[in-house]
Structure 1
C-alpha cells in the first residue's frame, strides 16, 4: 500500500536478560531504521554489550522479541545471525595478527582452487578491490595485521563484515583507546557506509562528541531500559551530559 512506512531494519521489543541475581536488561525497546547509524550510550554496566551480544546471537534473551524487517526471528547462534545479515565487531576484533590482511578478510571463508589449495591470488585481488571500494587505505593486503595501526585493524574488521554481506553492523566501542587520527579513520568509514545506505549500524560509544559526527539518532541505556531516544539534530552533548550527571547525583544520595 502506497505511503506505508517501511518496517525498521531491526527492532527489539520488551527485551530482558539476567545473569543469576543480576538484571542486565529489564525492558529494552529499540528500533534501527534502514541505512541509519544509531548510537547506544550509557554508563559501564548499563547493559550495552549484553544487548549487542543478544542481537548477534551470542546470548539468548529471557524475554522479548527481535524483528528483522518486520518479521520476528529467533537467533540461535552467532552463525545464524550472520546468515541473516547481522554481524558484530568487538574491541578484540577476532583478527589473527600473524596472518595477512587478505587472509583475515577471508578467515573461515577461504577460497580454494581446483586442487583444493588456497587460491591466494583470488583472495588477494578481491580483498584489495573491496578495501579500495570502501576507501580503506593500508600499506598492502600482504602485510601482517599485527603491523597495522589500531584504526587500520578496526577498519579491516568492519570491511570484512561488510564484505560478508552484513546488512546490520554492530560496533562495540570501535573508537576505544584510539588517537584522533585513528578515530577519524573509523568515523570516516562509518560515514561512508551511511552514504551508501546499504548497511544499518548500531555503534556503542562513550565520547558523546563523536556521536554527533556520524550518528543519526541516540539511545541512552539506563537501568536496563532505553530512557532517551532523540535524533542528534534535536539534542546536544550538553543535554546528554546533564542527564548522566543527574543520574550520578541520584546514585550518590541513595
Structure 2
C-alpha cells in the first residue's frame, strides 16, 4: 500500500488494485478487488487507519468480479453505499453481464500467460463467486463528487458500457480502472496499455474512450491492474490508440 497523496492510498492487490480515500472519520473505496482479496482488502483499510465499518461508500469503476469482489459484503455487513455511473448500476445488480467467461477465454488458454491468469482467476473467485450487488446508486458524471479530494467520474465506456475513471484534479491523480492499465498476467509488457481484446465488451469503444485521458495533467495514474505510473499521459494515450497490446 502506497500513500500517493494526503489520505489517498493505492493498494496493489495480487492481481487487481483498489484505492482508499481517507476522511475525517469515514473512508471511501474505489473498487474492492477479487472475492479472494477480502482479507487483504480489510487489512489495507485498517492499515490506512480505519475500521472496515468506517467504509461509508464504494465508488466502482466497473462491475467485473475482480473489482467488486467485496462490495456486497460491505453493503450487507456495514451499510456501505455502492456507487457507479447510472449505465453501470444494472451491471452491478447483474441485470446484464459484460464479462469474459471461461468459454470466451478458452481459445486463448494455449498461451501460457492466459493459462496462468485463468488458474489465478478461478482461485480468487472470478466468475465462480456470486458478486451481485443487491442495491446500488448512480453518481453524476463530470462533476466533483462529495468525497475527500473531490473525485470526478469520467465516463469511459468500452471495457463495460458504464466504465468510469476517477480524476482527482487538485492532486492530479487519475484512477483509470481498466480503461488504462500498466500490467496484467496475460501481457508481457509493462507501462500504459489496454487489456487484451477478449476482456472488452466493446473494444472500439474502449479505444475511443482513451481520448478522455489525453490532455489531463496527471501526476500519477493508478490503474486497475499493474503498478502506479507517472509520465506524459497524452503521449502514452496517443501511442496506445495506435493498437491494443496483446
Under TM normalisation by the shorter chain, which class is it? 0.3 to 0.5
TM-score (ref. length: structure 1): 0.32
Normalised by the length of structure 2, the TM-score is 0.33
Q: Greater share of strand residues, 1 or 2?
A: 1
Q: Which has the higher contact order (CA 8 A, sep 6+)?
A: 1
Larger radius of gyration: 1
